């Protein structure tokens, strides 16, 4: 089975610019997660989708971050404007459903963002 | 919310030795505790997990133990090999409400196995 696909793998932007990341989850997975992993730390959940609806976005900095999951499949995460502290790896994960914890919860390889 | 503390931050062992990584959690409602291995340039990969109704689980050279009363769980790797070198993360999650499926991660342990 194909894994979680993310693109781009790397991105370097200047502060105050905008950037977008794309995620294609495993086919049939209803739940999709975006995590932010700052260097030397564990991943932190930004937003969780169930199909095309948001389940949890309590830790998403909504003044600059936005995410959508059109048609309950692919998802994009956008940052506008970017700050230096947004430099991190952005991980996408998917699972079969709300009972997904422990059931096929799979991470992509991530997008490494550097803001200069 | 949930808080997960992980120790040590770095661990260096000789090939063939055992390695132990410990985590504590704060939310007594957490009931699922996975461990992930992350290699350079890759996403975290699940290596073993345990649920709150079980005290210990083994999978070949890897084992996890859970003490619900003390709210801590540990990863044990025996007969370590150089390919075990990576960053290891513990995590915790609980069922119910909007947090279902959300993983709270520890800070990670860099494990180095010297040949």
- Confidence at residue A108, expressed as pLDDT on a 0 to 100 scale: 96
DSSP helix/strand/coil, A72 = helix
**Yes or no, beta carbons of A55 and B6 under 8 Å apart:** no
| Nearest-CB residue to A98 (from B32, B44, B100) | B100
Contacts of A40 in chain B (CB under 8 A): 107-108
The predicted pLDDT at position B14 comes to 98
What is the reported pLDDT for A105? 82
Q: Half-sphere exposure (CA, 13 Å, Cβ side) for A89?
A: 21
The token pair that represents A111 in the structure block: 């997008």
- Paired tokens of A60: 């998403």
**Cβ–Cβ contact A47 with B under 8 A:** no
pLDDT in tens, A74-89: 999 999 999 999 999 9
Chain-chain contact of A42 with B91 (C-beta, under 8 angstroms): yes
**Residue predicted with more confidence, A37 or A30:** A37
Distances (CA, A) of B114 to B19, B82, B85: 12, 6, 9
Mean pLDDT of A60-75: 94
Euclidean distance between CA atoms A43 and A58, whole angstroms: 15
Question: For testing the chain B interface, which of A105, A108, A111 should be mutated: the one with the most B CBs within 10 Å?
Answer: A105
pLDDT in tens, B66-99: 999 999 999 999 999 999 999 999 999 886 555 5
Mutate to test the interface with A, among B101, B103, B110 (most CBs of A within 10 A): B101
pLDDT of residue A109: 96
Whole-number Å distance between alpha carbons of A53 and A31: 9
pLDDT value at residue A2: 79
Say what the pLDDT of residue A99 is: 59
Chain B nearest C-alpha distance from A110 (Å) = 6
Residue A51: the pLDDT is: 86
- How many CA atoms, within 13 angstroms, populate the side-chain half-sphere of residue A112? 8
Unique residue bearing structure tokens 């709270």:
B104
Question: Is A25 a residue whose pLDDT tops 80?
Answer: yes
Question: Within chain B, which residues score under 50 in pLDDT?
Answer: none
Nearest to A45 by CA among B103, B91, B53: B103
Report the gap between the CA of B58 and the closest CA in chain A (Å). Answer: 16
Give the confidence band of A52 by pLDDT, cuts at 50, 70, 90: confident
Which is nearest to A73 in space by CA: A99, A92, A45, A100?
A: A92
pLDDT given for residue B52 in this prediction: 83
Chain A partners within 8 Å of B98 (Cβ): 48, 55-56, 58
């Amino acid at each position: 089975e194909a894994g979680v696909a993310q693109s781009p793998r790397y991105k370097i932007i200047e502060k105050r610019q905008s950037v977008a990341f794309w995620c294609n989850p495993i086919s049939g997975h209803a739940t999709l997660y975006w995590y932010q992993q700052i260097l030397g730390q564990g991943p932190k959940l930004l937003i969780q989708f169930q199909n095309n609806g948001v389940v949890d976005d309590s830790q998403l900095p909504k003044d600059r971050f936005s995410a959508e999951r059109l048609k309950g499949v692919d998802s994009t995460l956008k940052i506008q404007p970017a700050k230096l502290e947004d430099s991190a790896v952005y991980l996408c994960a998917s699972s079969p459903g709300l009972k997904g914890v422990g059931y096929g919860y799979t991470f992509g390889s991530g997008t490494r963002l550097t803001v200069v | 919310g949930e808080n997960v503390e992980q120790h040590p931050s770095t661990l260096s062992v000789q090939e063939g030795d055992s390695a132990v990584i410990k985590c504590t959690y704060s939310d007594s409602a957490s009931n699922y505790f996975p461990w992930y291995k992350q290699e350079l340039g890759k996403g975290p990969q699940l290596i073993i997990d345990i649920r709150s109704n079980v005290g210990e689980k083994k999978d070949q050279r890897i084992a996890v133990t859970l003490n619900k009363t003390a709210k801590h769980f540990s990863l044990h790797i025996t007969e370590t090999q150089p390919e075990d070198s990576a960053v290891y993360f513990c995590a915790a999650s609980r069922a119910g409400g909007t947090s279902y499926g959300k993983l709270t991660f520890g800070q990670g342990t860099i494990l180095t196995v010297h040949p």
